[in-house]
Amino acid sequence: MRKVITDLLQQDERIEVVGTARNGQDALNKLTTITPSVITLDVEMPVMDGLVTLRKIMKKKPIPVVMVSSITLQGAENTVLAMEYGAVDFITKTSGAISLDIYKIKDELIEKVILAAQSKVNNFMKNARKDLINSIHSKDSHKSGTSYQFMADSRKKVVAIGTSTGGPKALQEVLTKIPSAINAPILVVQHMPAGFTKSLANRLNSLCSIEVKEAEDGEIIKCGVAYIAPGGSHLNVKKIGTTLAVQLNQLSPRNGHRPSVDVLFESLADLSNYSILTVVMTGMGADGSQGLIKLKKQCNTYSIAEAKESCIVFGMPRAAIKTNQVDEVVHLKKISMRISELVT
C-alpha cells in the first residue's frame, strides 16, 4: 500500500513523497528529521495505530493529515474520531485493508493531499486560543440592525448549517454548545460519503445536549434536534400542514456534491412563514453561495459565515461573503453563542 500510494502521488508534478513509514511509531521517529507538508495516515497499522499516531502528531508537531480509511462501520467510526482529533480530510479504501486497486481514486487522493497542504490545521491547532482572544477583543463584522430585525421577527425559525473540509471538528465545536431548549430545528449538510454521516451523527449525539441524528426520509422536523443529511442524499425540507418534514433524494450531485448545501438552502427558500438562519463554515469550494442568494431574495434570512482565522479551509465562507449576502462573520468559537441569541 505504501508503494502504491507513493507511485500515485508522484504522478502529480506538484507532489514529492519525502518518506514512508511502516507504522505510527516509525512515522513519529521520522518526523524528527523530516517535515512534510502533508501526511497520509492509515487508520489500521501495527505497533501504533493511526488514531494514536494522529493525536501525537497534533500534540507535538501539527501537520495536515489525510486519513486512509476502510468503508466499514468501524472504519467510519474511527474516521469520525480522526476528524475530531485534527485530521483535515480522509479517503476511503476501495476494497479493504490491502486495496491494490486504490488507483481508482487517484484523482481524489491527489486533490485532497494538495488541498491539505493549503489548509491551516497547524495554525488552528496552535492558535485557536489566541484567535478566540483576538475575536473577543475585536468587533465581529456584521450589518447593523439586521440581527435585531431577525430576532424580533415572530415567525418560526430554522437553522441551516453547511460545511465541508474541516467540518466534523467545527460541527462538534458548535453543536456541543447549543442548549437543548433551543427553539428551532437544525439542518446540517456535511460533505461526506454514504456510511460516514451516521457515525458522525452518533458521535455528536453522544457529546451534545441537543439530539443529533442522521436525517430520515419523511420524518417530522422538531425543535432541539440537529438533522445531518445522509452521505449520498440531498436533504430537502417539505411543508406538511403546519409542520416541516425531511425529504431525501438521490438526484444528480450539485457541483460534485450530494448532499449539497445549495440544494438545502434552495428548498428552505420555498417555505413561507419561516425565518431562516444560515451558517456557512469551513470547506473547499463555493457550495451554499447560490442557495444563499435565493434564500435572501425569498425569505427573511440572516446569514453567518465562519471567520477566516478559525477555518481549516476558507473556501465556502469566502464564497458566501463574496455574494454580499452574509450578515455577520464570526469566529468558530462564537458561532454557537450567536445561533442561540438569534433564535431565542
What are the catalytic residues? Answer: 164, 191, 287
Rounded Cα gap, residues 66 and 86, in angstroms: 10
* Contact yes or no for 29/57 (Cβ under 8 A): no
Rounded Cα gap, residues 103 and 243, in angstroms: 47
Angle at 122 between CA 121 and CA 128, to 5 degrees: 80
Closest CA to 284 of 167, 193, 168: 167
Query: φ and ψ at 16, to 5 degrees?
Result: -125, 125
| Centroid of chain to Cα 73 | 20
Rounded Cα gap, residues 125 and 170, in angstroms: 12
* Contact yes or no for 321/142 (Cβ under 8 A): no
Rounded Cα gap, residues 245 and 129, in angstroms: 39
The residue assigned the cell 442548549 is: 179
Q: In what order do the strands lie in the sheet with 65-69?
A: 39-42, 65-69, 89-92
Rounded Cα gap, residues 65 and 335, in angstroms: 25
